[in-house]
Amino acid sequence: MRPLLAATLAAFGLGLAATALAVSGEPGFDPVRLGPWTSWPQLGAPEIDPYERANVAMDGFAPIGLNEGLSFIARADDLGAPLDARCDYTISGTDLPARLWTLAAYSEGGRPQANPANRHGLTSAGLLRTDSGDFVIAAARQARPGNWLPLGSTRSFVLALRLYQASTSALSSAYDGLSLPKITRGACP
**Per-residue pLDDT tens over the stretch 18-38:** 555 444 445 556 788 899 999
Residue 153 lies in a domain: yes
Contact yes or no for 164/74 (Cβ under 8 A) = no
Report pLDDT digits (tens) over 126-154.
999 999 999 999 999 999 999 999 998 88
Residue 4 lies in a domain: no
Residues of the domain holding 77: 27-185
Residue 67 lies in a domain: yes
Taking the C-alpha atoms of residue 37 and residue 71, their distance in angstroms, rounded to an integer, is 9
Residue 130 lies in a domain: yes
CATH of the domain at 69: 2.60.120.600
Residue 86 lies in a domain: yes
Residue 9 lies in a domain: no
The residues pairing with 106 across neighbouring beta strands, listed in sequence order, are: 112, 158
Using left for φ > 0, alpha for ψ between -120 and 50, and beta otherwise, residue 88 falls in: beta
pLDDT at 115: 84
Phi/psi of residue 122, nearest 5 degrees: -130, 155
Return averaged pLDDT per consecutive 10 residues of the chain, 189 residues in all.
69 56 54 88 71 69 74 95 96 91 90 85 95 95 95 90 74 66 94
Residue 3 lies in a domain: no
Question: What is the number of domains present in the chain?
Answer: 1
Centre a 10 Å sphere on the Cβ of residue 147 and count the other Cβ atoms it contains: 18
Residue 134 lies in a domain: yes
